[in-house]
Amino acid sequence: MSIQHSIVWSLIPGLLLLAAPLSAADAFTLKYDIVYGTVGETNLCMDIAFPTQSCGPIPCVVVIHGGAWTLGNKSMHTNEIKYFAKQGYVSVSIGYRLAPDHRFPAQIEDVKCAIRYLRANCKKFNIDPDQIGAVGFSAGAHLSMMLGTMNQEDGFEGKGGWPDESSKVQAVVSYYGPTQLDANDIPKESVPLVSNFIGGSQKEKPNAYRQASPLTYVSPEDAPMLLFHGTSDPIVPYSQAIKMVTAMTRHNIPGRVELLMNADHGGNWSVEELARTKDATSAFFEKHLKKQ
């Protein structure tokens, strides 16, 4: 859930983008600070990259930054959205409100609003509204999994705008994201991070901890999920990923979990492992978002 590990994966796509000259087919347009919703006097913004040349509506990949729901910003993943645009997607990096100024469920309401905005403006951005995926890192992975499991009737849609659109995505990739915040396997070092997000301890707010956990909402109609997790993660234990894949198995949800032996919370992943998981992410979205 810490910010430094959310940056690591960004370095590899960035290097690849610098090394390879753009062809006409790879060209993309990048727009910054697009307002996707408003809460009170706060404008919620996203950056969006899309192929300059595309035929017909195309899938969209949304990238969500980590930082323990407290730190980070959308600019952390500019390289990722460029990378996905070169792969033939409209791609978005979302900014969302942060704790402690904004507690749960503000972050969930914001990312849901972003998905609704993209659907409401699908013609403007040439998006296929039925093919939207989300990839996140740490706390961003948690928010991505919430987008893949929650239905409108589960609540927390917020009042940011676009209420008539669905906020659910069709595919999710999680990098070391927590799945059950009210579990006893959350390390003591991470307990204050979760408490800061929720605005109280598990004893004080048991319902909020359950409502803020992706595992609570798993059902047969949920999005396929790919989860990457290190077996030496000191912040989010890999048992959290096992819980999610167990629930997915019970409900016949497609996907898988990949455990990286002796890897931590993203910080000690090798260049080769980062490149491999990046390629696996692309292949997963290719399978589940692009129509065959």
Where is 197: in which H helix or E strand? helix 191-198
Q: What is the pLDDT of residue 13?
A: 36
Number of domains observed in the structure of the chain: 1
The pLDDT tens digits along the chain (292 residues) read: 654 444 444 333 333 333 344 455 579 999 999 999 999 999 999 999 999 887 889 999 999 999 999 999 999 999 999 999 999 999 999 999 999 999 999 999 999 999 999 999 999 999 999 999 999 999 999 999 999 999 999 999 999 999 999 999 999 999 999 999 999 999 999 999 999 999 999 999 999 999 999 999 999 999 999 999 999 999 999 999 999 999 999 999 999 999 999 999 999 999 999 999 999 999 999 999 997 5
Q: What is the pLDDT of residue 22?
A: 45
**Cα–Cα distance, 17 to 72 (Å, whole number):** 22
Please name which of 31, 42, 225, 46 lies closest in space to residue 118, comparing C-alpha atoms: 46
Asked if residue 26 is part of any domain, the answer here is: no
Asked if residue 269 is part of any domain, the answer here is: yes
Please name which of 114, 126, 94 lies closest in space to residue 28, comparing C-alpha atoms: 126
Tokens coding 98: 């942060």
Q: Domain containing 205: what range?
A: 3-19+31-289
Asked if residue 216 is part of any domain, the answer here is: yes
**Cα–Cα distance, 146 to 168 (Å, whole number):** 9
Asked if residue 25 is part of any domain, the answer here is: no
- β-pairing verdict for 171-175 and 28-39: unpaired
CB 3 within 8 A of CB 193: no
Asked if residue 184 is part of any domain, the answer here is: yes
Which residues, in sequence order, are bridge partners of residue 50? Answer: 29
pTM for the complete prediction? 0.92
**Cα–Cα distance, 213 to 158 (Å, whole number):** 17
Q: What is the pLDDT of residue 56?
A: 84
Longest alpha-carbon distance in the chain:
57
Q: What is the pLDDT of residue 55?
A: 81
Where is 91: in which H helix or E strand? strand 90-94
Q: What is the pLDDT of residue 41?
A: 92
Q: What is the pLDDT of residue 11?
A: 35
Residue 63, phi then psi, degrees to nearest 5: -110, 130
- β-pairing verdict for 58-64 and 171-175: unpaired
Please name which of 55, 93, 59 lies closest in space to residue 285, comparing C-alpha atoms: 59
CB 168 within 8 A of CB 150: yes
Asked if residue 256 is part of any domain, the answer here is: yes
Asked if residue 207 is part of any domain, the answer here is: yes
**Cα–Cα distance, 179 to 209 (Å, whole number):** 11
- β-pairing verdict for 127-137 and 90-94: unpaired
The count of C-alpha atoms lying within 13 angstroms of the C-alpha of 157, restricted to the half-sphere facing its C-beta, is: 16
Asked if residue 24 is part of any domain, the answer here is: no
CATH code assigned at 163: 3.40.50.1820
Q: What is the pLDDT of residue 172?
A: 98
Q: What is the pLDDT of residue 7?
A: 41
